[in-house]
A and B are shown apart, each in its own frame.
Chain A
Amino acid sequence: MGSRNAVLLHKTGPQVADEIRACIGCNECLLACPALSEPITIDVLNRETLAGPISAPVARYARACFQCGACVAPCPVGLHRDAMMMWLKVRLLRSGMEE
């Protein structure tokens, strides 16, 4: 199996932070996402992915994301939105466990 077909595992928090800083906000990942059902702006998504409270639409989107990777190919700067969404999922999961 070639590297193109290899399944990529999660990224760490600092790696996700680096990717978010590298995001140019072109919206290509959101346009290519089959899980996103309501309008969300990329800057809100980036901000809430990184830290701070998670709003209801972003939380709904994070829970709906099924990690298909459709967002990765259209990114003009080669970022992994699926890894960022996974970080958001982990934040939601951990915050739920704490409660």
Chain B
Amino acid sequence: MAPNNWQDSARGEAGYAWLSMHGWHGWFGRLLLTLFVLALGIGVFLWYSRTSNDISPDSIAGYAYAVIGTLFAVMAGIAYGRRRRATKKRAIGQLNASLQWHMCLAVLALVFLCLHSFGNFNPRSGTYALYGMIALAISGFIGRFLDRLMPRLIAGEVSKALTAQGDDRIESISQRLQAIVVHNTAELRGFDSSNTPSSNKSLVPVKSGAALPFADAGQSLQTPWDLAYISLEATPQELSRDGVQYRFVPDKKSELARPGALMPGAQEHISELQEVQQAMQREHFYRYVIRYWRRFHVLLALTTLGLTIWHLVYAAQLLIPVFLHK
């Protein structure tokens, strides 16, 4: 049994807006907390910049921002990944909350690491790590935008590929095409010469109203060969060159010369079929966009991790001798 069609949903929720903002329950609290921590970090940064002479990445405040920013970045990366793989203590909606925290913590990490630089972008390793972090955050936001846009586009294409009852439209069109072929084949067989001797049907239509003197009770008899000598009317055997029935072989005047005349209705169905196939190709493409953008984001995360480790090694090379000589 196929499910009832979509029309019976009219009494419930309807419509699917572009970039729907639904599914953001609990977002408000997390956003407020994120803004509070951001404001706190920026406030401390401004206060420290005005009161201290040592405003560099390797100052106390610089280290503090580096450590806090790195912690936020690690939490953003690990917490969501661990929640996704968790097999115990799971509840509906927890993964969505983790995803929202993932985004909040990533933004916090980016801002705190920017503050850590204190505008000093001389070390290449740190600058590249920061660029990586910025690219990662931007790719995440684009990914969330694509997560809203692509499924809506896919739904539009799927709607084109399914009938109102939800059946496969390609199959439906193919069946109709098959019916046309069968119908036309049957029509063509009507002209088969092997069928005509046993059939009462003549290729030359005989007008029912114009009864021939030798026609009796609707049954036409073979016309005698000398009929032309006793009547000036055209004999049934005479075929008009302009008559439709004369044009068995298509020429320029023939109706059969029109495109698609040999298979009436087929061209429309073939166009419809191509339209559905294009819709399915677009669906395929949108699904690949969703999949590969996610992989691109993970790749960027790994690249940023590598750049950050490079920067940490660079910082350790500077710091360890200082601590050893103290």
- Interface residues of chain A, those whose CB is within 8 Å of chain B, are 7, 9-10, 12-14, 16-17, 27, 30-40, 48, 50-56, 58-68, 70, 86-87, 89-96, 98-99
Contacts and interface: CB of A to CB of B under 8 A. Distances in A.
Given A13-B3, A13-B162, A92 B23 contact: no
Given A17-B1, A67-B151, A68-B290, A92 B92 contact: no
Given A52-B4, A60-B23, A66-B290, A91 B148 contact: no
B210 to A, nearest CB: 55
A9 B1 contact: no
Contacts of A60: 22-23
Nearest to A61: B23
Given A62-B16, A70-B95, A89-B155, 16 more contacts: A7-B284, A9-B287, A13-B2, A13-B162, A13-B165, A27-B92, A54-B13, A63-B20, A64-B23, A66-B150, A66-B151, A90-B6, A92-B15, A94-B159, A96-B14, A99-B15
Contacts of A62: 16
B280 A53 contact: no
B161 interface: yes
Nearest to A48: B12
A26 to B, nearest CB: 12
A34 B99 contact: yes
A3 B246 CA distance: 57
26 contacts: A7-B291, A9-B280, A9-B283, A9-B287, A10-B162, A12-B167, A13-B2, A14-B1, A14-B166, A16-B166, A32-B84, A33-B92, A34-B99, A37-B25, A38-B93, A51-B8, A53-B13, A64-B20, A64-B23, A66-B290, A67-B290, A89-B151, A90-B166, A92-B16, A93-B15, A95-B15
Contacts of B92: 27, 30-31, 33, 36, 39-40
B67 interface: no
A16 B22 contact: no
A7 to B, nearest CB: 4
B288 interface: yes
A86 B20 CA distance: 15
Given A92-B13, A92-B15, A70 B284 contact: no
A27 to B, nearest CB: 7
A70 B150 CA distance: 16
A99 B12 CA distance: 12
Contact of A67 (B3, B15, B98, B287): B287
Nearest to A83: B158
Contact of B22 (A17, A34, A64): A64
A38 B25 contact: yes
A58 B291 contact: no
Contacts of B290: 66-68
Contacts of A35: 23, 96
Contacts of A33: 92, 95-96
Contacts of A68: 147, 290, 294
Nearest to B20: A63
Contact of A55 (B4, B12, B168): B12
A89 B253 CA distance: 51
B5 to A, nearest CB: 8
Given A30-B92, A39-B92, A55 B23 contact: no
Interface in B83-111: 84, 90-93, 95-99
Contact of B16 (A12, A27, A50, A89): A89
A36 B15 CA distance: 19
B287 A37 contact: no
B9 interface: yes
A12 B151 contact: no
Given A67-B290, A68-B290, A96 B16 contact: yes
